[in-house]
Chain A
Amino acid sequence: MRISFLLAVITVLASTVYSQSKITLVDAGNGDPVEGALVTISVSNAELNLVSGDDGSILVSAPAFPLRLTIRHLNYELYQATYQDTMPEILMLEPARIQLNEVVVIGQYEPQSASNSVYKVRTISRERIDAQAASNIADLLTNEMNVRISHDLTLGSSNMSLQGISGQNVKVLIDGVPVIGRTGSEIDLSQLSTQSIEKIEVVEGPMAVSYGSNALAGVINIITRKSSLHKIDLGLTLQEESAGREYDIDKGLHNMSLTAGYNISDKWYAGLDLGRNFFGGFQGAATGRNQEWDPKTQVNGSAIIKFSPGSSGMHYRLDFLDETIRSNADPVGLFQPIALDEVYHSNRYIHQVQGGAKIPVLGRFNGVVSFSDYRRIKTQYAHNLVTGEKPLSTASGGQDTSWFKTWIFRGSVVNGTRADRISWETGYDINIDHTGGGRILDGLSRSIGDYAIFASAEIIPVRPLKIRPGLRWAYNTVFEAPLVPSLNLKCQIAETADLRFSYGKGFRAPTLRELYFEFIDSNHRIFGNENLSPENSDHLDFSYTLLRQLSKSLRGQSDLDVFYNSIRNQITYGQSVTDPSSITFINVNKFKSWGANVGQKFIWPRFTGQATIGFTGRFNELSDSMDLAKWEYSPEVSSRITYSWSSRGMQLSLFYKYTGKVPQYALTINDQGEQEAFLGRIDDYHWMDLTVRKDLWNHFSVTAGIKNIFNVTNISATALNGGGHSSGDGLAIGYGRSIVLRLTYKLNP
């Protein structure tokens, strides 16, 4: 990131040659040189922008005095000073206590501050992950605004919805590469561990021009750690957590992880991380051998090797996951000690090679080649509880393997810099998916290829206004891919106030499952539909951000966000037209949502407080035919409070989210035998986590806390219709109030 920052724009307005003077920027805290600071030198009639090198120095061609110096760096406080005749050789920069304005990469031509991005990007920092003691992405997003996390206790997966839109419309990326292995139709967020994450970017609204299918409700980009400031980096984390009141050697959570980085030379870097997350399950109200939450063990890790000579660079990264979920059952008969125990074993490997280089004339090229392999094996045993024998069960549907393999080839050329009036990006994006398994038609593997080209431009017609139109065209081997346009506008109406408007089309491609599924038993005949069209959406978003220095030590940020989504051709189960005795997937449903959020953040040197309040409205389809309210609204509140005593190396963090009631109309029959609508609902709940971190000696820190303070387990949900089977009468939210203790060792804190 720093290296790319170094490549950042240097605008030279003053062209007169003077003699040179050198200024070195150093960290006031530790004396280290500060690399990548943007230094603006203003003289009476001109302005010069420079970026500090890796030794923290800038060379200024003998300047004309008086001059004004402005130094901006994300990790340091703004430095401004006017010099009448000489400049100091060394300038101390105060480390910024809070990074208000993060660097973002998603959808950007080059990394830049979030305030300059035409997209509204939310970032979740490493500090936040640590403060929340979140082991996986599902935990981490629990408190996020407009996000709802749900847990499928049968499959053992955790899914999300964003702005009321289900998670199959959210694209999850690791360093810009889509994660594969949808359980059901969604990525299991609990399979994404946090240990190698540097930060996470969340974009609400479609990014279909850049990322194609499924980037309809939004994109979550996981950015991994790829460099170190030190020769050797080493980190160890141990985390112990209770599952509600359950904790023992084989109960609760026992997680450990190791991260390591090594700068082999100034051009080569190698990194490694390994983690093991053990969850003993949660018995809850379940009896016998059953558990409400099944036990789960994950072993995961990644390895990276990076070569970065000068301005170009390249890295290879491998991510792997090995997950085992054990679902123990009670005996199937009364005096028959046979239990149909199930084991779900998932494996995922993601290989990716990413590189960037400057190509003469064309501009800067960034490319990715990636291969992902995901496999989920369900094994059912006829476990004899008396003899201990465990032969495979011969029950129908007892054994199943499903697998996915995906090749991705993606690249783009960026021409121009953000200082130019026009800069643009053109690129290609090729995705080739293969899938197979017991429930795919003919038992064969099926494949689908998507070949796309995309282009966008950032145009600055007048200074505060930035316009970004984009277009994506794709050829798909199975269905007709839609032409996807987008338009983003950003207007800096004051130095610290930004208005953003975006319009985008998005789409969700039918999955291979929806195209080629096959399942027949005595009660069900379900087939995929090869003639499906993609789901299409329109998304509008308007946002306003205001940053203010309220006093010398108080800064504030105010946000307003309004969004509207409309999805057509939603794919759902339906009766087949060609074979009415079978169920297939059809394009039928409409979905609309809109909502608004208002947020306020205050930052004092020690104290940060943030609160957002908002609502999401979902369109009530029954209002088309009945006299009912058109929209059903559910409120949300999210708040984070942090207090740090940096002198004592302590920090207190509070995370709170109120997830409001979701009203939902469903049909029923009244006493007169007439159909009528009744208002059901998914209940509301409060979620709160509280943690305290204390640094010990030089290398250790301890985090202790309480998660799920309001002791939420299941919430009731009525009117969850939609046919088929529903699994029980509540939604699993958590396993109750839990205690967490985390010990971290860092070689270089």
Chain B
Amino acid sequence: MKTFGLLLLLFLFGFMFQACNQDDNGPTVQPPSEGAIIDANVGGQTQPNIVFIDLSDERQDSLNRNTWDLAFFCGEGSFVSLNVATEMLAYKLDQTDITAVNAEDTAGLGGKLSLDAIFAAAIGSNLPDWLASATTWTDDPSGDLTKTAIKSVSETESENIVFIINRGKSPNGSPRGWKKVRILRHQTGYTVQHADIGSADFEEVTVPKDSKYNFAYLNFDDGILTAEPENSKWDIAFTTYTDLTNFGLPYNIPYFFKDYVIQNRSGVEVATVMKVSDLVMEYDSLKIADISGLTFSEKVNSIGASWRSIIPQVGSAAVKDDRFFVIKDGDGNYYKLLFTKMLSNTGERGYPQIQYALVK
């Protein structure tokens, strides 16, 4: 009996030692977070920050949306994405020589290549012919990179055309100016030619791919920058966004959204769960066994603006209390997530809060 007790003790010790040993050897693996409440630092009313959130790490990283212009895909394929958080739009010319493009090529664009102009045209009773094509001036909001404004960058140099870019607006509302841009492939990465519209010269920047990130970021003025966290280190992000919206017209138009939520395209999937009767109870009671009944989406805007409502006439805004979300992160963890706040306690926008828990 004594021996048995000793053996058992030894066995237990050994088991514990082994467990410790596993922890200490190789890379440190923290168990995923059980859940948390995060106040995303979006920055208040003007929402200057894009806030990337890593649920399993209970971490947020923010990026000022005013600091970059183009994002270059680091995965398979050669794709370019606009900074849709600053209302950026791109218009395709039929010219491949960037030096040959001048102010004449942009005649009339001032009256249409901006979200304000598009909305102004849409509100009028005589819809201009160009309005239907405005959807092609922004990236597809679902994140499908084959449907971006600039499309894919071709191996054949002569197929890469010059675009006129309206850089949109900074968070304080001031215009960020215009550029002409041509993008070519360079080895596995990209070469960007850009200049002010009237300029006879251009600058050339080489943008290499780094597979740790979804995108490499470029600012026309300051060059390449590290912007978003590594693609394994975020799940969802609060951002401003350009979505395609229906205003009772026969087609959608690009329209600026605040309080928008996107998800990481590298392995993150999102399901929406609509409430049956009591949202919080149904959220609390969701188990890992319930996951199989949900439909997950890889669209980057699966959440989008669906978590909150706005009544435009009175300017009032609120979190929708009819749904919660289940997020599958890149490591295969499932989190159930509630949006709990969107406004400050005095009603100002730009103070979102989430609450989430690991689904077991």
Give A contacts to B, CB under 8 Å.
154-155, 327, 329-336, 338, 340, 342, 380, 382, 384, 391-398, 520, 522-525, 572-576, 580-583, 586, 588-589, 666-669, 675, 720-727
Q: Please measure, in the bound complex, the distance between the C-alpha atom of A520 and the C-alpha atom of B172, giving whole angstroms.
A: 12
Asked if B313 lies at the interface with its beta carbon under 8 angstroms from chain A, I say yes
Per-position contact with A for B105-118: 1 when CB-CB < 8 Å, else 0?
00000111011110
Which chain A residue has the least Cβ–Cβ distance from B341? A333
| Contact A332–B340 (Cβ < 8 Å) | no
Q: Please measure, in the bound complex, the distance between the C-alpha atom of A334 and the C-alpha atom of B348, giving whole angstroms.
A: 16
Per-position contact with A for B341-360: 1 when CB-CB < 8 Å, else 0?
11111111100010100000
- How far in angstroms is the closest Cβ of chain A from B55? 17
- How far in angstroms is the closest Cβ of chain A from B147? 16
Describe B's contact surface by its main secondary structure: mixed
Q: Of the candidates A384, A393, A588, A668, which one forms a contact with B126 in the assembled complex, judged by CB atoms under 8 Å apart?
A: A588
Which chain B residue has the least Cβ–Cβ distance from A719? B248
Contacts of A395 in B (CB 8 A): 315-317, 343, 346-349
Q: Of the candidates A334, A574, A722, which one forms a contact with B338 in the assembled complex, judged by CB atoms under 8 Å apart?
A: A334
| Contact A667–B318 (Cβ < 8 Å) | no
Q: Please measure, in the bound complex, the distance between the C-alpha atom of A574 and the C-alpha atom of B126, giving whole angstroms.
A: 8
Q: Of the candidates A332, A384, A397, A669, which one forms a contact with B315 in the assembled complex, judged by CB atoms under 8 Å apart?
A: A397
Q: Of the candidates B279, B313, B345, B349, which one forms a contact with A382 in the assembled complex, judged by CB atoms under 8 Å apart?
A: B345
Contacts of B12 in A (CB 8 A): none
| Contact A333–B319 (Cβ < 8 Å) | yes
Question: Are A724 and B110 CB-contacts (below 8 A) given A332-B317, A382-B346, A669-B250?
Answer: no
Task: Report the interface size for chain B: residues with CB under 8 A from the other chain.
Answer: 55
Contacts of A668 in B (CB 8 A): 250
Q: Please measure, in the bound complex, the distance between the C-alpha atom of A431 and the C-alpha atom of B11, giving whole angstroms.
A: 100
- How far in angstroms is the closest Cβ of chain A from B318? 4
Q: Please measure, in the bound complex, the distance between the C-alpha atom of A331 and the C-alpha atom of B247, giving whole angstroms.
A: 27
Interface set, chain B 303-323, CB cutoff 8 A to A: 311-319, 321
Asked if B209 lies at the interface with its beta carbon under 8 angstroms from chain A, I say no
Q: Please measure, in the bound complex, the distance between the C-alpha atom of A333 and the C-alpha atom of B319, giving whole angstroms.
A: 5
Question: Are A575 and B124 CB-contacts (below 8 A) given A332-B347, A394-B346, A524-B119?
Answer: yes
Asked if B173 lies at the interface with its beta carbon under 8 angstroms from chain A, I say yes
| Contact A721–B345 (Cβ < 8 Å) | no
| Contact B110–A580 (Cβ < 8 Å) | yes
| Contact B123–A393 (Cβ < 8 Å) | no
Give B contacts to A, CB under 8 Å.
45-46, 110-112, 114-117, 119-128, 169, 173, 247-251, 255-256, 258, 279-280, 311-319, 321, 338-349, 353, 355
Q: Of the candidates A331, A340, A396, A720, which one forms a contact with B45 in the assembled complex, judged by CB atoms under 8 Å apart?
A: A396
Which chain A residue has the least Cβ–Cβ distance from B111? A580
Which chain A residue has the least Cβ–Cβ distance from B316? A340
Q: Please measure, in the bound complex, the distance between the C-alpha atom of A392 and the C-alpha atom of B316, giving whole angstroms.
A: 14
Q: Please measure, in the bound complex, the distance between the C-alpha atom of A155 and the C-alpha atom of B314, giving whole angstroms.
A: 9
| Contact B248–A675 (Cβ < 8 Å) | no
Q: Please measure, in the bound complex, the distance between the C-alpha atom of A420 and the C-alpha atom of B258, giving whole angstroms.
A: 72
Question: Are A342 and B248 CB-contacts (below 8 A) given A332-B341, A333-B340?
Answer: no
Question: Are A380 and B347 CB-contacts (below 8 A) given A333-B342, A398-B315, A727-B313?
Answer: yes
- How far in angstroms is the closest Cβ of chain A from B131? 10
Q: Of the candidates B116, B128, B279, which one forms a contact with A582 in the assembled complex, judged by CB atoms under 8 Å apart?
A: B116
Contacts of B345 in A (CB 8 A): 336, 338, 382, 384
- How far in angstroms is the closest Cβ of chain B from A628? 15
Question: Are A154 and B248 CB-contacts (below 8 A) given A523-B255, A580-B120?
Answer: no
| Contact B318–A583 (Cβ < 8 Å) | no
Q: Please measure, in the bound complex, the distance between the C-alpha atom of A338 and the C-alpha atom of B346, giving whole angstroms.
A: 8
Question: Are A573 and B344 CB-contacts (below 8 A) given A523-B256, A581-B114, A721-B248?
Answer: no
Which chain B residue has the least Cβ–Cβ distance from A336? B341
| Contact A334–B319 (Cβ < 8 Å) | yes
| Contact B249–A723 (Cβ < 8 Å) | yes
Contacts of B316 in A (CB 8 A): 329, 340, 342, 380, 395
Contacts of A524 in B (CB 8 A): 116, 119
Q: Please measure, in the bound complex, the distance between the C-alpha atom of A537 and the C-alpha atom of B281, giving whole angstroms.
A: 61
Question: Are A522 and B173 CB-contacts (below 8 A) given A333-B353, A582-B116?
Answer: yes
Q: Of the candidates A332, A342, A666, which one forms a contact with B342 in the assembled complex, judged by CB atoms under 8 Å apart?
A: A332
The 5 closest A-B pairs by CB, nearest first: A580-B111, A393-B347, A574-B124, A395-B347, A581-B116
Contacts of B251 in A (CB 8 A): 669
Which chain B residue has the least Cβ–Cβ distance from A581? B116
Contacts of A398 in B (CB 8 A): 315, 347
| Contact B120–A575 (Cβ < 8 Å) | yes
- How far in angstroms is the closest Cβ of chain A from B164? 15
| Contact A589–B125 (Cβ < 8 Å) | yes
Q: Which of B110, B111, B125, B321 has the most chain A CB atoms inside 10 A of its CB?
A: B125
Can you offer 24 A-B residue contacts whose CB atoms are under 8 A? Answer: A327-B314, A332-B318, A335-B341, A335-B355, A336-B345, A338-B345, A338-B346, A338-B347, A340-B343, A394-B348, A395-B347, A396-B315, A522-B256, A525-B120, A575-B117, A575-B124, A580-B111, A580-B117, A588-B125, A669-B250, A722-B248, A723-B124, A724-B248, A727-B311
| Contact B117–A333 (Cβ < 8 Å) | no
Which chain A residue has the least Cβ–Cβ distance from B340? A334
Which chain B residue has the least Cβ–Cβ distance from A727? B313
Q: Please measure, in the bound complex, the distance between the C-alpha atom of A581 and the C-alpha atom of B120, giving whole angstroms.
A: 7
Q: Please measure, in the bound complex, the distance between the C-alpha atom of A725 and the C-alpha atom of B110, giving whole angstroms.
A: 25
Q: Which of A327, A329, A334 has the most chain B CB atoms inside 10 A of its CB?
A: A334
| Contact B341–A572 (Cβ < 8 Å) | no
Please give 4 more A-B residue pairs, beta carbons under 8 A apart, in addition to A575-B124, A668-B250, A723-B248: A333-B353, A334-B319, A397-B315, A522-B169
Q: Please measure, in the bound complex, the distance between the C-alpha atom of A520 and the C-alpha atom of B169, giving whole angstroms.
A: 13
| Contact A582–B318 (Cβ < 8 Å) | no
| Contact A334–B321 (Cβ < 8 Å) | yes
| Contact B347–A573 (Cβ < 8 Å) | no
Contacts of B346 in A (CB 8 A): 338, 382, 391-395
- How far in angstroms is the closest Cβ of chain A from B177? 14
- How far in angstroms is the closest Cβ of chain B from A399? 11
- How far in angstroms is the closest Cβ of chain A from B213? 29
Q: Of the candidates B247, B280, B315, B348, which one forms a contact with A723 in the assembled complex, judged by CB atoms under 8 Å apart?
A: B247
- How far in angstroms is the closest Cβ of chain A from B125? 6
Contacts of A724 in B (CB 8 A): 123, 247-248
| Contact B111–A721 (Cβ < 8 Å) | no
Which chain B residue has the least Cβ–Cβ distance from A721? B248
| Contact A667–B116 (Cβ < 8 Å) | no
- How far in angstroms is the closest Cβ of chain B from A378? 8
Q: Please measure, in the bound complex, the distance between the C-alpha atom of A382 and the C-alpha atom of B348, giving whole angstroms.
A: 10
Contacts of B169 in A (CB 8 A): 522
Contacts of A589 in B (CB 8 A): 125
- How far in angstroms is the closest Cβ of chain B from A717? 12
| Contact B120–A576 (Cβ < 8 Å) | yes
Q: Please measure, in the bound complex, the distance between the C-alpha atom of A727 and the C-alpha atom of B348, giving whole angstroms.
A: 23
- How far in angstroms is the closest Cβ of chain B from A696? 46
| Contact A723–B123 (Cβ < 8 Å) | yes
